[in-house]
Amino acid sequence: MAPVEVSDLSKRFGTRVAVDHISFSAEAGEVFGLLGPNGAGKSTTVRMLCGLLLPTSGVARIAGHDVARHPVAARRRLGAVLGGERSLYWKLTGREYLLYFAALYGLRGADARRRAGDLLARFRLDDRADELVERYSTGMKQRLALARSMLADPAVLLLDEPTAGLDPVSARLLRDEVRAVAAEGRTVLLTTHYMEEADELCQRVAFVTGGRIVALDAPGALKRRLGGGAVCRVELAGWRPDLSLPGEAVAIGEGRWELRVPVSDPAAELPALVAQAAQAGAAVLRCESVEPTLEDVFVAVAGQALRA
C-alpha cells in the first residue's frame, strides 16, 4: 500500500464543493504535486490528509491509517507544513520551537535535544538556532517549519505552498531540501500554483481545478500530450470569443490576451496563425513559438490559466 492513498475524497462546505471525488496515491521516495490555481481545493485536500478536516465522503490514508478514523496513528507518521511562516511562534528561538513540537510528538530529554540539533544543522539554522524566530528571514522561517515537520521522522510530508512568498534563490534552496527529503525514501506531497516548481520538483503532478483532478502524470508525459511539438504564443489586443481562433486565450493584462496553440510544425503554423488572427481583426502584438511548459498543458487540459 502506498504511503498516501486518497480514494474518492470529497469535501463540501455548505453548498460549495471544495474537493470533488479525487483519487490518487503517492509512493515512497516520490515528490507528488497538486498543481492548480487559487481556490482549486489543494489546501482542503491537504487538511483532510492531516485530519484537520473531516471529508464529506471518501477515504484518505497515511501509511495505511484511515485519517478520519485513526487520526493519531496517521499523524504519528506525518509531518505537515501548512501556512508557512505563520505556523511559527515568533517569540521563541528556533531551538525552543523545535523542542516544543518534539514534546508534542512524544520526544523527550536528550532524544529531543539531539533530534532538534540535527535538524537545525541539516536545515542550516544551527548558527542562528538560539535567536528569536522573529529575526529570521522568510527563507529561514520556511526551513524551520520544514525542520519541525521532520521531527517525528515521518514517512509522509505534506507541504502546502512551501515556497509561497520566498525569493527565487530561497525558493530554489528549499526545493533542494524537499528533493533531499524525498530521496531518503519519504513521500512528499506538495501543493503549488507555480508550474515551474511542479515541473522541476515533482515526479508526478495532478492538475487540480474546481476540486477535481483533470490530469495526473509525470510532467514530461503531460507535456508530450500536447503532441510533442511546440506551443505558439501570440499576444493579441482585441481578442473576442467569437473570433473563433484556435487554442486557448488567456487574459494577460488590460485588453491583452495570449493565444496559446499547440502545434507540431511551428515554422509553418506560426505565420499562418498570425495571419489568421490579423484577418479576424485582432491586433498581433508579439508572437513566438516555445517548448511547451506545464502551464501550456494545464491551460489546454483545464481551459484555464494557473494565475487567473
Partner 1 sequence: MSALWAGVRRSLLMKLRYPDFWFAYLAWPVIFPAAYLLTAGALAQGGHGFAGYRADIVSGTLMWMWVNVTCWSVGGALRQEQTGGTLESNWSSPAARWALLTGPALTDIGLSLAGMVLGALECTLLFGVRWAAPWPVAAAVAVASVPWVLGVGLVLAAMVFWAKDVSVMVNLVRGLFMVACGITCPLAVLPGWLQRVGGALPMTYALDAMRGGPWGTDLVRLLGFDVGLAALGALLFAGVEASVRRRGALGTY
Ligand X SMILES: Nc1ncnc2c1ncn2[C@@H]1O[C@H](COP(=O)(O)OP(=O)(O)O)[C@@H](O)[C@H]1O
Three-state secondary structure call for residue 296: helix
By the 8 A CB rule, do 4 and 10 touch? no
* Residue among 10, 43, 187, 209 that touches Mg ion (CB under 5 A): 43
- C-alpha distance across the termini of the chain, in Å: 37
41 binds, among Mg ion, ligand X, partner 1, none (CB under 5 to 8 A by kind): ligand X
Query: What gap in Å lies between CA 279 and CA 157, rounded to an integer?
Result: 52
The residues of the shown chain that bind ligand X, judged by CB under 6 A, are 13, 16, 18, 36, 38-44
163 vs 276, which CB is nearer to Mg ion?
Answer: 163
Three-state secondary structure call for residue 174: helix
By the 8 A CB rule, do 57 and 211 touch? no
| Minimal distance, residue 175 CB to partner 1, in Å | 21
Query: What gap in Å lies between CA 255 and CA 85, rounded to an integer?
Result: 36
101 vs 257, which CB is nearer to partner 1?
Answer: 101
* Residue among 6, 19, 63, 80 that touches partner 1 (CB under 8 A): 80
* Residue among 75, 128, 143, 204 that touches partner 1 (CB under 8 A): 75
> Quick one: which segment of 33-41, 45-53, 136-144, 206-214 binds partner 1 (CB under 8 A)?
45-53
CA distances from 21 to 17, 117, 217 (A): 10, 42, 18
52 binds, among partner 1, Mg ion, ligand X, none (CB under 5 to 8 A by kind): partner 1
| Minimal distance, residue 74 CB to partner 1, in Å | 9
C-alpha cell at 149: 515537520
| Minimal distance, residue 159 CB to ligand X, in Å | 12
| Minimal distance, residue 124 CB to ligand X, in Å | 28
Closest CA to 221 of 206, 240, 233: 206
Give residues 48-67 in contact with partner 1 (rule: CB under 8 A): 50-54
Give residues 143-172 in contact with partner 1 (rule: CB under 8 A): 145, 148, 152
Residue ranges in the chain assigned as alpha helix (H): 42-50, 71-76, 94-104, 109-122, 138-149, 168-183, 195-201, 219-224, 266-280, 294-302
123 binds partner 1 (CB under 8 A): no
Query: What gap in Å lies between CA 90 and CA 137, rounded to an integer?
Result: 12
| Minimal distance, residue 66 CB to partner 1, in Å | 14
Residues that bind Mg ion (CB under 5 A): 43
- Provide the binding-site residues for partner 1, judged by CB under 8 A: 11, 13, 44, 47, 50-54, 72-73, 75-76, 78, 80-83, 86-89, 101, 103-106, 145, 148, 152
